[in-house]
Amino acid sequence: MSKQVKITRIILFFIYLLVVWGAYRFLWSGNYLWDELFFKPLLWLTPVLWLVTKLEGRKLISLGLVFTEPGGKILLGLGISFFILGEYLLALFLKSKQISFNPEQIQLYFWPFAFLSCVATGIVEEIVFRGYFMTRINEIIHSKLNSNIIAGLLFFLIHLPILIFDQSQG
């Protein structure tokens, strides 16, 4: 497969994500937890699986789906997650000068559902951005640092529409 074909696939898949996910989030006012638990995996992973298995003729291991020494990786992931949560709460506080949390208004069934939603979001975004984009970009430019930077910029850009259009957050 030529370098131009690889670049074109990366760009087209990113445009697909930006348009389809951006439009979905902008036009649909569904439950955020359902969006992240069901619709994001459906809309993001289906094309990735098709691109990798059918178009590229590769195995899913090319996305980095390797399960060696999962314990340490899970702990590292949880640690980073708590750091990001703290960063998010700090941003909310700086933006609105308060963090409102009233556990009496949250039903007991919410917590496991919210946890599963967060795990699903993390897994889906890691597979797409680190597994697909970063590895494919690295195959083209042969620089882990630069491919990580480019994948990080794509990650930022995919979240930009919701940051601009969703004024209900915070």
As for how many domains the chain has, the answer is 1
Read off the pLDDT of residues 42-53 as tens digits, 9 standing for 90 and up. Answer: 999 999 999 999
Read off the pLDDT of residues 112-160 as tens digits, 9 standing for 90 and up. Answer: 777 788 888 888 999 999 999 999 999 999 999 999 999 999 999 998 8
At 23 the pLDDT is 85
Read off the pLDDT of residues 81-124 as tens digits, 9 standing for 90 and up. Answer: 788 777 877 777 777 766 666 655 566 666 777 778 888 888 89
Structural domain of 20: 3-65+112-165
Q: Could you please report the per-residue DSSP string of the chain?
A: --HHHHHHHHHHHHHHIIIIIHHHHHH----HHHIIIIIHHHHHHHHHHHIIIIIS---GGGGT---SSHHHHHHHHHHHHHHHHHHHHHHHHHHHS-----GGGS-TTHHHHHHHHHHHHHHHHIIIIIIIIIHHHHHHH--HHHHHHHHHHHHHHHHHHHHHH-TT--
104 occurs within a structural domain: no
156 occurs within a structural domain: yes
143 occurs within a structural domain: yes
At 170 the pLDDT is 43
At 99 the pLDDT is 64
Residue 29 above 70 pLDDT? no
